Amino acid sequence: MLNSPQCQFNLKQNPSLIHYFKESVKSLPESYSVKTKYEYLQFIKRYGTHYISQADVGSEVVEVTAIKTCQVALQGASVEELKDCLNIETNVAVTGKVEANAKASACRELSQKMTRQNNFHQTFNERTCIKFDLLSINNKDNNAAEFETWMESLKKDPDIVTYSLEPVHDLLKSELKENLQKAVSEYIMEKALWKDCSCTGNSQPSEGAKCTCFCPRSEFLTPSCCPAKKGLAKLVVTIRSGSGLWGDYISKTDSYVKVNIGTKTFKTGTIWNNDNPVWNTSFDINPADLELITSIDIEVWDVDSGYDDDRLGSCKKTLTSGDKSDVCHLDHGTLNYKVRVECMQHLVGEHCQEYLESPSHPVLLVLPNGQLKACFNSQPGHVYSLLCCRGNFQVIN
């Protein structure tokens, strides 16, 4: 965002009130109740709940870019860093001044890693159904003269870019001030919209004014609910049953199964005196790092005295994404088991190394003044953008 304030206005203390405002105040009932509420409501509808006490007028250019937040996270960057770099590029394009500070230096390093010799605006350029190239730093039509004309026009015809508000009841000095304050409070509460921040998965609503969701930071999850690295998946190993096991000469087999996953070992319960045991026991790691855990080892054991149990056989299973049933062939008999590897959201591929975009749907964005309409292919996990300006320049006819 670029602000170019031309001047500032401040309302003096104890400002003079126009005649018809004073007359409207005099006509208000001396008490505020259900019976007199209508008169106060009419006053609010005419004069509003607040007045502007300070304002900066000039111009404002806003550029918002669609950023795939989880793809950015997997590249080791954050949305905040990209916002800084996009702002720096826009400043250079509009003012011609190149910044020399820590942020600019960090952006140059980030550009080498992420943009493949392009600038950030070229790399993050997801815009559809919108034609507004005048202020774009990638504009090839050389409309700099038109931009200069717009900037010059703001000296005569600026717009309000920032302002401060004060409650309208502060303009009153009489006993009616408290009555109007109650009326304004009730009016705002009645007209306020209920904010329902619904968050999916493990995300939680933020406590701030903005209705956003976040995830508790962890080794595997970023605050924006993205995988912290590639190769993360939910791993579930299900030990189903054995068939034709043989571990003892005198009696039937007393068997259990060990599953070695990385540095962890899981163990089923023991099925006593049964050569065809059924366990249907599942073990899971969520998430598992497939860059560190590439395979699992499964061992079938027969109980003797605990310290001298007999291993009936083992097998190794290489981990790839998907749901696969398999058979482990032992020295005597077989073991049926299943391995499910489910890539974390936004990851796909045999080893969950590739980024997956979320399904898209069209979304329409409209500025409050109704000037500019734009549509994007909206996808969860995106920060959406709009390039627009404030001032007397007509964005779209």
For the residues of 115-175, what is the DSSP string, one character each? STTS-HHHHS---BS----TT-TT-SS--HHHHHHHHHHTTTS-EEEEEEEEEGGGG--ST
Position 3 confidence tier, pLDDT thresholds 50, 70, 90: low
Which residue type sits at 344?
M
350 alpha-carbon distance from chain centroid? 26
Alpha-carbon span 53 to 11, nearest angstrom: 5
**Residue 290 burial by Cβ neighbours in a 10 Å radius (0-12, 13-18, 19+):** buried
Instruction: Go through the domains of the chain in sequence order and give each one's CATH number.
Output: 232-354 (2.60.40.150)
Q: Mean of the per-residue pLDDT values for the chain?
A: 79
Contact 275, 312 (CB under 8 A): no
The pLDDT tens digits for 197-247 are: 777 666 777 776 566 777 877 788 888 788 989 999 999 999 999 999 998
| Between 68 and 43, the higher pLDDT residue | 43
Task: Name, of 184-198, 218-232, 343-357, the range with top average pLDDT.
Answer: 343-357
With cut-offs at 50, 70 and 90, classify the pLDDT of residue 133.
very low
Closest CA to 255 of 278, 272, 280, 238: 272
What does the block give as tokens for 150?
């717009």
Whether 204 contacts 195, CB under 8 Å: no
pLDDT in tens, 141-163: 555 566 677 677 777 777 787 88
pLDDT at residue 147, as a whole number: 65
**pLDDT the model gives residue 57:** 81
- C-alpha to C-alpha distance for 239 and 282, rounded to whole angstroms: 6
If you average pLDDT over residues 88-103, what whole number do you get? Answer: 73
Average pLDDT over residues 89-101: 72
